Amino acid sequence: MTPDAAAPTSATPAPEGTRRDFLFLATGAFGVVGTAAALVPLVAQLEPDASTIAAGGPVDVDLKPVAPGQMIIVRWRSRPVFIVNRPDKLLSTLQSPQLVSLLSDPDSQNHQQPDYAQNWHRSIKPEYGVLVGICTHLGCIPQFYPNPSPTTPTAAWLGGYFCPCHGSKYDLAGRVYKGVPAPYNLPVPPYRFVNDTTLRIGENPPDSSYDFDSIIQL
Ligand code: FES
């Protein structure tokens, strides 16, 4: 796997754009991160060739280089997929009453994930978050701010994703905050573990038939 570090830049589109415009901008520019957010590499996937990726085929990802607290972005169906390694320190926040009280859909009641990710960590294994990185408001790419901060990117930040376009906030499980423009949690794609260190995006575990196209909103 060859890391392909993305240059920090701004992904803020014009405010009058339609959702389609925003999605176009987002998918054309993914891999970018904000200047103040954590640097996130856009990595090359294992195995699949360009035609497989274009057709939406499964994509294998080597998890070994993803250190605790880090995130990578891979491409699936021409969309950015965030894969984040969440150590205990970050996971503990996801169940804190302080955070949960601020979330719009803390129990993932809206169909934005498969059954196997309808839990407090929205994933198969708590330590690995897997999310489609497209804001459910108008399609910008949220930025990764994993650590709590009193000031950055907003006051009293608890760690998660911040969308600079119109200020939507998500926690490290992709759960959206109340009172922001984005209406839904970030989608979870179908995925499974091929082995302890290899993730396959685009394929469900053997006992699931989750259809990504059935989610409420990308
Ligand atoms: S696109 Fe508007 S807040 Fe994310």
By most ligand atoms within 8 Å of CB, the mutation choice from 162, 166, 178 for ligand 1 is 166
Residue 30, pLDDT above cutoff 60:
no
Among the atoms of ligand 1, which is closest to the Cα of residue 138?
A: 1
Reported as a single tens digit per residue, the pLDDT across 87-121 is 999 999 999 999 999 999 999 999 999 999 999 99
Domains by residue range for the chain, with CATH? 3-204 (2.102.10.10)
If you measure from the C-alpha of residue 102 to the centroid of ligand 1, how many angstroms do you get, rounded to a whole number?
A: 18
Distance 178 CA to ligand 1 centre (A): 14
Taking phi over 0 as left and psi of -120 to 50 as alpha, with beta for the rest, 160 belongs to left
Check residue 133 and give its pLDDT.
Answer: 96
In this structure, what token pair is assigned to residue 2? 């060859």
| CB burial string 71-89: b at 16+ within 10 A, e below | bbbbbbbebbbbbbbbeee
DSSP state of 18: -
Instruction: State the first-to-last Cα distance of the chain, in angstroms, to the nearest integer.
Output: 28
Condensed to tens digits (0 to 9), the pLDDT of residues 180-209 reads 999 999 999 999 999 999 999 999 999 999
* 138 Cβ inside 6 Å of ligand 1: yes
Which tokens belong to 4?
């392909």
Q: Residue 157: left if φ>0, alpha if ψ -120 to 50, beta else—which one? A: beta
Closest ligand 1 atom to Cα of 139: 1
pTM of the model: 0.82
Mean residue pLDDT of the chain comes to 83
Burial 150-188 (b: 16+ CB within 10 A, else e): eeebeeebbbbbbbbbeebbbbbbbbbbeebebebbbbb
